[in-house]
Amino acid sequence: MTTSPCRALPRAVVVTMLSFACGGVPSGLAQELPVVTENGPSSVEVWADQRSNALSSGFLHTVHQGGFLGRELFEEMLEGHPSLGGMGGQAGWAMRGCTKPLHGKPWALSYAIGSDVLVSTLWRRDLMELTFLGNAASLGEQHYLTGTGMRIGVFNRISFGAEHAETRQRIELSFVQRLAGAEWGVARGGFRVTEGADTMQVDVQAFGAASLDVLPDTSGLAFRDALPAHGIGISGTLPWKSEVLPVQFVVNFRDSGVLFERPGGLYAAVDTGFTTTGLRIPFTSYFNEAGEEADDLTWQDIVEGNSDISEDSLVFVTDSAARRTLLLPSRIHADLSWWPSEHWQVRAQVHAGSWMPQPQLTAGFGWTPSDRIALGADVRSGGWGGIRPVTWMRLRVSKRRVLGIDIEDPLGLFWGSKVAAHTYGRGIRISLRRVPGQGWTRTSQWPHREAARKEIDEDSIFGKPRVSP
Q: What is the residue range of 24's domain?
A: 1-33
Say whether pLDDT at 356 is over 60: yes
Whether 69 and 5 share a structural domain: no
- Band (337; pLDDT cuts 50, 70, 90): very high
Whether 102 and 66 share a structural domain: yes
Q: Model pTM greater than 0.85?
A: no
Percent with pLDDT over 70 in the chain = 76
CA atoms within 13 A on the CB side of 45: 20
What pLDDT score does 221 carry?
67
- On whether residue 394 sits in a domain, the answer given is yes
Rounded mean pLDDT of the chain?
A: 81
Q: What is the mean pLDDT of residues 334-352?
A: 94
- On whether residue 277 sits in a domain, the answer given is no
Q: Give the Cα separation of 101 and 42 in Å (integer).
A: 14
- On whether residue 148 sits in a domain, the answer given is yes
Whether 193 and 339 share a structural domain: yes
The C-alpha torsion from 254 through 356 and 191 to 317, rounded to 10°, is 30
Whether 24 and 38 share a structural domain: no
Whether 19 and 44 share a structural domain: no
- On whether residue 280 sits in a domain, the answer given is no
Per-residue model confidence as pLDDT tens digits over 177-213: 999 999 999 999 998 888 877 778 888 899 999 998 7
- On whether residue 386 sits in a domain, the answer given is yes
Q: At 176, which amino acid appears?
A: V
Per-residue model confidence as pLDDT tens digits over 237-276: 999 988 889 999 999 999 999 999 988 888 888 887 766 6
3-state secondary structure 323-367: CEEEECCCEEEEEEEECCCCCEEEEEEEEEECCCCCCEEEEEEEE
- On whether residue 304 sits in a domain, the answer given is no
Say whether pLDDT at 5 is over 80: no
Whether 29 and 119 share a structural domain: no
- On whether residue 382 sits in a domain, the answer given is yes
- Band (291; pLDDT cuts 50, 70, 90): low
- Band (27; pLDDT cuts 50, 70, 90): very low
Whether 150 and 14 share a structural domain: no
Say whether pLDDT at 154 is over 50: yes
- Band (298; pLDDT cuts 50, 70, 90): low
What pLDDT score does 299 carry?
56
Whether 210 and 333 share a structural domain: yes
Whether 451 and 435 share a structural domain: yes
What pLDDT score does 383 carry?
95
What pLDDT score does 200 carry?
80
Q: Are 293 and 287 in contact (CB under 8 A)?
A: yes
Whether 12 and 153 share a structural domain: no
Per-residue model confidence as pLDDT tens digits over 31-61: 444 555 688 899 999 999 999 999 999 999 9
Q: How many domains does the chain have?
A: 2
What pLDDT score does 439 carry?
79
Whether 97 and 26 share a structural domain: no
- On whether residue 96 sits in a domain, the answer given is yes
Name residues whose C-beta falls within 8 Å of residue 23's C-beta, 6 or more positions apart in sequence. none
